[in-house]
Structure 1
Amino acid sequence: MEGNRVLVVGGGMVGAALAVDLGRRGIPVRVLESRPPARPAGEEPPRLRVSALNRRSIEYLEAIGAWPALDGERLADFDEVMTWDIAGGGRLHFTADELGLDRLGLFIENDHLQASLLETAASLSAVQLDAPAGALDIQPGANGPRLTLEGEGELEPALTVAADGAASRLRDTAGIAVWEGDYGQHAVVATVRPRPLAGRQTWQRFTPEGPQALLPLANGNASLVWYVRPARARELLAMTEADFVQAVEAAFPIELGLIDTLYARGSFPIRRMHARRYWQGNVVLVGDSAHVIHPLAGQGVNLGLRDARTLAVQIAEAHRRALPLAHPPLLAAYERSRRPDNQLMQSTMSAFHVGFTAPIGPLAPIRGWGMQLADHGGWVKRRVLRYALEGR
């Protein structure tokens, strides 16, 4: 059986979505996930890591039948986006009304989405879910990586999908090189209960040190993101809770208000990475194993879900035509479809980072003017908003 099916290594949000998509098409797939999340539920405070799902991602989750597994009480719709520069006079304001929509997207805890997708995958007869899976040993081989699963032995799938994240062992063992860089920033993230409560607006302010953002979560809670230098991130995390709250309230704009409760805080480095190719032999990359972008616009998971959807179509085509699942022309077609989109988003986010973290000086009026122009730019503004929502 192993030689006739897809093996997905990594059951995160993207890998799990791909498994659900393939499973609903009746294509045999096995998922290896070493650390499945405990599903957040009830009155539990929001988890630290969250993602923004745009309209296209929501439609995809609905199409593959994963939407009913989500707990609506832990989803937070947003219908407004506000962006401005601390030194400029302009503000860029998006609303759902401009496109005749009831929402622009929603925010969801990563663990919630991952757990829901894994539960959906487990309910499909074509999917074998190993979660937690035994240790997977990955070694170089004559025909690609040799995979040995603890307690089972060597695996020989028809196609291996590397969904094992930015530090993908599968990608590296397959000999796929990457372009990568460091932005010299850490994102300090905190889940809080603000006063006033968060509504349906997400906002982002640019400062010379980096952006500050509020992402509304369910029940009036919020995720705060503060981009700072690594040394400053260490200082903030070493503070007492009271001092940390005071530092955030002092640094963030008045739009935040005050913080009544700090649920959790943490930080992670901001890096960029893009694989030089998306497949090699019978190994193909999706999500963070293929590309990592600046989280500025929260598009990482949306890009990954588009990878999953596109790859599933190519695998289904190979299955329909009785071709090998690792048929090179179909894997090449997957890469041709996804690389330009991922590259465009990565380049755009890098440009934003450079443009808005430059010393204020003479650039401030230009940045403010640019935001005013975009806000009143009619079709330009609508085009930017459409791309953020639908990726096209």
Structure 2
Amino acid sequence: MESNGVLVVGGGMVGAALAVDLGRRGIPVRVLEAHPPKPLTGDEPLRLRVSALNRRSISYLEEIGAWSALQPGRLADFDEVLTWDVSGSGRLHFSAEELGLERLGVFIENEHLQTTLLDVARSQSAVQLDAPAPTLDIEPGDSGPRLELAGEGTLDPGLVVAADGAASPLRDAAGIRVWEGDYGQHAVVATVDPEPAAARRTWQRFTPEGPQALLPLAGGAASLVWYVRPAKARELLALPEADFVRALEDAMPVELGRIAHLYGRASFPIRRLHARRYWRGNLALVGDAAHVIHPLAGQGVNLGLRDARALAEQIAEAHRLGLPLAHPPLLSAYERARRPDNQLMQSTMTAFHVGFTAPIGPLAPLRGWGIGLADRGGWLKRRVLRYALDGQ
């Protein structure tokens, strides 16, 4: 590994996007992805994990040449968001029409976006892609993590980027501590064919147990998300398929309709995490290695892509000026650009979680009233929607 190059450890959506961005700028970059997803086939069902890309993320993917490589048949536009609380009558409705837009965003399978970005990275002459990558041994060192790649030996890049997820071994080896917490919930996720078919509206209902959501997917399918206590999640996943479908239909609002087919189901814990710093020595953090937020508003991947863009700009500046890629003032500028945005979104999602799951008894109807008031908020409502779309 050349000392004037960038090593990205983790080729998920964020790490792969960063590699593509650097590659198009002609900056040498190597990506190590230990477990790349299986290639998509045209007739296979939609995969379980999905994300909502906002307008800013779509623009970024267009800018780095990845958007046109996606399969249109696996994308689902949405132009309405409906939110309400089971304890009250108020409803909050966002629409693209309010802002004069054709859509609010696009739902996409995580593995489709990841695979596409890796394919684009593979086509760039400045990018070396190891997917699957050999075993990487990571040990703490005085000036940063020591990296030994099986069959190759010591790696000594100019900059190492940790895009290796929330449990980042690189972050831990660098001695970067985190603030973290557990929401005490698991998200039970199911990909289904609802009847009637999902349209271009996503809805979210708050219940005392946790939120429930429908995310429209390609071909009229939908991703159902049900936030429950860990024990309840285990019970649901242990049910036979027919009983699981019946439990979903019984628990979800009438807006769901009925479930004609279940493609798959899974659950994962809901946690929050924020690194106390975004870089140390020649290591920088992006995506879940730096921050994990409640998936309530589907903003995780959007924040990660903004990390990728901001870090790529600082690396490009170092490259242009002939400075070390890990030049401290530039890495500090990256952190200053990204920390406030990530912190604001994490705090907002935590406030929503507390506000809509707290058992406040006879005051619960006030939440519905508050939602109704927000729906009539005019300028404030449009401002919130603009932030969700553009992050600014």
Query: Hey, what does 1:330 align to over in structure 2?
Result: 330
Per-residue CA deviations over 1:195-215 (Å, capped at 9, x if unaligned) read 000000000000000000000
Alignment of 1:169-180 (within 5 A): 169-180=169-180
8 Å CA contact 1:208, 1:360 repeated in 2: no
- In 2, Cα distance between equivalents of 1:151 and 1:192: 44
Give the letter for the 2:149 counterpart.
L
Aligned position for 2:234: 234
Which range is displaced more, 368-377 or 280-289? Answer: 368-377
SS across alignment from 1:315: helix
Q: Superposed, which structure 2 residues align to 1:87-106 within 5 Å?
A: 87-106=87-106
Letter in 1 for 2:4: N
1:244 aligns with 2:241: no
Aligned-pair CA distance for 1:144: 1.1
SS of the equivalent of 1:2 reads coil
Corresponding residue SS for 1:137: strand
User: 1:286, 1:304 within 8 Å by CA — same for their partners in 2?
Assistant: yes
* Residue 182 of structure 1 pairs with residue 194 of structure 2: no
1:125 aligns with 2:125: yes
The secondary structure found in structure 2 opposite 1:3 is coil
1:259-295: per-residue Cα shift (whole Å, max 9, x none)? Answer: 0100000000000000000000000000000000000
Letter in 2 for 1:50: V
Matching of residues 102-181 of structure 1 within 5 Å = 102-181=102-181
- Unaligned 5+ segments in structure 2 are none
Q: Give 1:363 shift.
A: 2.8
User: 1:362 Cα deviation (Å)?
Assistant: 2.8
**For residues 262 and 316 of structure 2, what CA distance do their matches in structure 1 show?**
46
Whole-Å separation in 1 of the counterparts to 2:171 and 2:215: 32
Contact 1:6 1:157 (C-alpha < 8 Å) held by counterparts: yes
- After superposition, give the CA deviation of every residue in 1:79-130 in whole Å (9 maximum; x if it has no partner): 0000000011100000000011000001000000000000000010000000
Instruction: Report the Cα distance in structure 1 between the residues aligned to 2:333 and 2:358, rounded to whole angstroms.
Output: 39
In structure 2, what is the Cα distance between the partners aligned to 1:302 and 1:7?
22
* 1:240 alignment partner AA: P
Q: Using the alignment, how far apart are the partners of 2:2 and 2:189 within structure 1?
A: 41
Query: Which residue does the alignment assign to 1:311?
Result: 311
**TM-score using structure 1 length:** 0.99
Q: Runs of 4+ in structure 1 displaced over 4 angstroms?
A: none
Task: Give the secondary structure class of the aligned counterpart of 2:83.
Answer: strand
Identify the residue that residue 212 of structure 1 maps to in structure 2.
212
- AA aligned to 1:211 is P
How far apart are 1:141 and its partner, in Å? 1.5
- The structural deviation recorded for 1:365 is 2.3
Secondary structure (helix, strand or coil) at the match of 2:202 reads strand
Tell me the residue number matched to 1:297: 297
In the alignment, the residues of structure 1 paired with residue 143 and residue 81 of structure 2 have an alpha-carbon distance, to the nearest angstrom, of 49
- The separation in 2 between residues aligned to 1:203 and 1:360, in whole angstroms, is 24
Counterpart in the other structure of 1:276? 276
Q: Which residue of 2 aligns with 1:382?
A: 382
Q: 1:180 to 1:37 in 2, by over 3 A?
A: same
Instruction: Give the Cα separation in 1 of the matches to 2:39 and 2:309.
Output: 24
**In the alignment, what sits opposite 1:203?**
203
- Separation in 1 of the partners of 2:100 and 2:239? 45
Contact 1:87 1:360 in 2 (8 A): no
Aligned residues of 1:194 and 1:256 also touching (Cα < 8 A) = yes
> Which segment drifts farther, 216-225 or 359-368?
359-368
Tell me what 2:265 maps to.
265
Which letter maps to 1:136? Answer: L
CA shift for structure 1 position 43? 1.9
Residues of 2 paired with 1:324 and 1:15: CA distance?
Answer: 21
Aligned length: 392
Amino acid of the residue matched to residue 83 of structure 1?
T
Separation of aligned partners in 2, 1:265 and 1:350: 25
The root-mean-square deviation of aligned C-alpha atoms, in Å, is 0.7
CA distance in 2, matches of 1:138, 1:87: 50
Offset at 1:40? 2.1
Question: In 1, Cα distance between the equivalents of 2:41 and 2:290?
Answer: 31
Instruction: Work out the percentage of aligned pairs sharing the same amino acid.
Output: 79
In structure 2, distance between residues paired with 1:188 and 1:301:
19
Helix, strand or coil: the match of 1:120? helix
Instruction: Return the offset for 1:360.
Output: 4.8
1:23 match: 23
Match of 2:222 in 1: 222
2-side partners of 1:156 and 1:363: how far apart?
59
**1:171 CA displacement:** 0.2
Supply the distance in 2 between the matched residues of 1:144 and 1:354 (Cα, whole angstroms): 38
Q: What is the aligned partner in structure 2 of residue 42 from structure 1?
A: 42
- SS of the aligned residue for 2:364 comes to helix
Stretch deviating more after TM superposition (229-238 or 40-49): 40-49
